[in-house]
Structure 1
Amino acid sequence: MSDTYVLILLCAVVTYIVRSGGYVLMSYFGTVNHRVEAGLNAVPIAVLSALVAPTVLNGEWPDAVALIFVCLLSLRLSMLPTIALGVVFLVLLRQYA
């Protein structure tokens, strides 16, 4: 097996252990405080913002326009159609811009 496949497998195992460990740890606490729950619910948005912000600030204008388009789509559609339409829109913008 090449080094790339070993690295991918190790990353998958570590990710599984970390995610499972979080569930096991939270199961010992029973119910959590509403503030902790609100903080945990904010984590995905914070991570997404951290991933998207450098692209928008340092990228081309099609990236920023596609991000605005996806944000507007996410208000009406579920996640899968939003991502699919956002990717298609970004590809079209990059192709013709």
Structure 2
Amino acid sequence: MNDLARYVALDVPSLLAILSMMAVTYGTRVAGFLVLRNRSLSPRATAVLEAVPGAVLISVIAPAFTTTNPADLAGLAVTLAMACRFPMLPTVIVGVAATALLRHVL
């Protein structure tokens, strides 16, 4: 087997796991659309749905609060400072870039 074929080869269980995750993700999006398409949401329900992306992001970065790695802690501080002044997209971009740079330097 040549190097390229070895690099891109996936075993069957991994491929099935990836395809299953894709189907479930797509299915939840389609189901949410089909269930809510003809309904008007209350302001409270709208606020809950708008808070979900931030909650998911927090669940991903929350473990960084418990690290002892100085680069991760400094990157976290940069991200928190950005979050106080800027919208989510620039905050995420700068936070990821700062953490990568700090990991490289430190």
1:62 has 2:71 as partner: yes
Q: State the TM-score, normalizing by the size of structure 1.
A: 0.77
1:21 has 2:51 as partner: no
Q: State the TM-score, normalizing by the size of structure 2.
A: 0.72
Residue number in structure 1 paired with 2:17? 7
Over the residues paired in the alignment, what is the CA RMSD in angstroms?
2.2
Deviation at 1:23, TM superposition (A): 1.2
Percent of aligned positions with the same letter in both sequences?
28
Structure 1 residues 37 and 11: CA distance shift in structure 2, 3 A: same
- Residue segments in structure 2 that go unaligned for 5+ positions in a row: 1-9
Runs of 4+ with >6 A deviation: none
Deviation at 1:15, TM superposition (A): 0.6
- Please tell me whether Structure 1 or Structure 2 has the larger radius of gyration of its CA atoms: 2
Q: Distance in 2 between matches of 1:59 and 1:13?
A: 37
- Residue segments in structure 1 that go unaligned for 5+ positions in a row: none
1:34 has 2:62 as partner: no
